[in-house]
Amino acid sequence: MKKRSYRNKNHSGLGIALGGFIPLLWVVILSIGCSVTESEIAPKPEKEDPPPPPPPVQKVEGVDYFLPHIDLNHWKVTLPVGRPTEVEPPEILDYANMEVLQEFMYNDSTDGSLVFYTYPGSSTANSSYSRTELREQMEPGSNKINWTFAQGGSMKGTLSVPEISTDASGKAHRVIIMQIHGRLTDEQRDRIGEDDNNAPPVLKIYWTYGKVRVKTKQLKDLDASDTEILKVSSWTDDEGHTFAEEVGTDKFTLEIKASEGRMEVILNDSEKVVYDDIHMQKWGVFENYFKAGNYLATKDEGAFSKVKYYSLEVSH
């Protein structure tokens, strides 16, 4: 009698059972896997709103206008018209309503500046160039009272040169924006036989091709007599100093400090040039006054310049 074998039968049955069960198991596993994966996906964040715009700049004067804060009680102005025309205190205090000044000296209410405009026209007796320029008067309405380096003085202004003409080669013209000018006393004038009180300017500060350039005076002969030293012909220009910073048409600040035997010019509180040599010591014989504004150094036809002063202060 042959023995029955159940191996094949049993394996076959198990195979059939597993064959039906395994696909089902994979369906369940895949189903669970898909369900878990979907449940773990975070919802997409909502799109963020852009940040709010910055608040508008607050106006500090008027509604939409600004005015310069420059005390004109100790300044007169010279214009490029007339012989030339000059306006002194107290009339200059009403400059905004003076017809003769409205073309040359006026407010720009958009930025709070006092604008000085000029072009080649009338000039003073000792110059061939025209100007719309302030001249310091320590005693309002008089040129007689001035100061010496021993007494000292300082002037500080914030300004810009937003518009200026160009020459035939396309280069911008130059303009003098600040000065210290010398003056003879009546006794000194008479001693050297002059008919006016003019002395050289010991300091001229130019806006030149977008930079600030300083020129001062040097005595030609250090052994010149007390009389000879008073003559304009005894003095000559130095080589000059150009500040490294380019100001272009932007605002910048200039400060001048004069004291016995010393003169200092500072640009934007960061760069300065100092004169404290024998020439400054010799200069002590003269009286002086400050000047500020727009002194155009050209006579080219069609030339013009605008200089804006936002602040101007003088102390002694």
Q: How far is CA 213 from CA 100, 119, 282, in A?
A: 31, 21, 23
Q: How is domain 142-315 classified at the CATH fold level?
A: Jelly Rolls (2.60.120)
Give one DSSP letter per residue of 221-256, joined into a string.
-TT--TTGGGSGGGEEE---EEEEEE-TTS-EEEEE
Distance between CA atoms of residues 158 and 136, nearest Å:
17
In this prediction, residue 51 carries a pLDDT of: 79
Task: For the chain, give every domain's residue range.
Answer: 142-315
pLDDT of residue 104 exceeding 60, the answer is: yes
Helix (H, G, I), strand (E, B) or coil at 99: helix
Q: In this predicted model, what pLDDT tens digit does every residue of 127-182 receive, in sequence order?
A: 889 999 999 999 999 999 999 999 999 999 999 999 999 999 999 999 999 999 99
Tokens of 269: 């509180």
How far is residue 259's CA from residue 150's CA, in Å, rounded to a whole number?
Answer: 6
Neighbours of 299 (CB within 10 A): 13
C-alpha 207/C-alpha 295 separation (Å) is 10
**Residue 153 exposure: Cα atoms within 13 Å on the Cβ side:** 18
Q: What is the pLDDT of residue 21?
A: 45
Confidence of residue 126 (pLDDT cuts 50, 70, 90): confident
Question: For residue 121, what are the CA distances in angstroms to 5, 48, 83, 178, 201?
Answer: 133, 64, 10, 20, 21
Residues 202, 70: Cα–Cα separation, whole Å:
25
Residue range 121-126: average pLDDT?
Answer: 90
pLDDT tens column, 9-62 = 444 444 444 444 444 444 434 444 444 444 455 555 566 777 777 776 666 555
Residue 37 phi, psi (nearest 5): -60, -45
The predicted-structure confidence for 51-77, as pLDDT tens digits, reads as follows: 777 776 666 555 567 889 899 999 999
Q: Which residues contact 101 (CB under 8 A, 6 or more apart)?
A: 77, 79, 87, 92, 95
